[in-house]
Amino acid sequence: MLLACLADRRLDRFAAPYIADDPTRLPNIDVALVLGATPIGPEGGPNRYFEYRLDAVAALWRAGKAKYLLVSGDNRRPDYDEPTAMRDGLIKRGVPAEAIYRDFAGLRTRDSILRAGSIFGQKRLIVVSQRFHLSRAIFLAREEGIEAWGFDAKDVDTPYSVFTTLRRYPSALRAYYDVWLETPARHAGKPVVIGVDPPN
């Protein structure tokens, strides 16, 4: 557990210069990547991690910091579709459907990052999630040669998020493991040119 905590602290220090909670402190970039979360929270209502991420990326888009949004999440079962739920939530927040691309194979953070580069052709990204998640994502992206910044979504109160809080520590270790072993994304796919190909 100590090693996992040290890995998490190291990731946080690495990513801190690239993360902001104010859109004006971020560069203008073509694409913002929204990392997936389950739409339904542990109490059966809307998942606050999910809702706060959508609030954040909609604000980022309205501020003109990203032209297009890439929503990446899990769709491994026909009855579970994070990317479509994210797109629907963003449309409700005023983002036009033609600005939203979906990655259905973002099964975990590393997959979302790798596919943003290899499938969607992005070398510069603003990643949107909560701070603990952003640190890992920024590290993974920059280790892959992607110039990544993070936009910090509102966090969730600890009593609601204790499982997620605990999970961050082994996930930090796994990030280093994946980089060292060059773990590939679980799924390949046809290239998609954001802004040229129509949104899926």
- What are the distances in angstroms from CA 151 to CA 2, 18, 133, 181, 197? 28, 9, 11, 28, 26
How confident is the model over 64-106, as pLDDT tens digits?
A: 999 999 999 999 888 899 999 999 999 999 999 999 999 999 9
| Residue ranges covered by each domain of the chain | 2-94+110-143+158-181
Q: pTM score > 0.85 for this model?
A: yes
Cβ neighbour number for residue 5 with a 10 Å cutoff? 13
Taking only the tens of pLDDT, the chain with its 200 residues reads 667 778 778 888 999 999 999 999 999 999 999 999 989 877 778 899 999 999 999 999 999 999 999 999 999 888 899 999 999 999 999 999 999 999 999 999 999 999 999 999 999 999 999 998 999 999 999 999 999 999 999 988 765 666 666 676 778 878 888 989 999 999 999 999 999 999 98
**Residue entry with tokens 């040119």:** 193
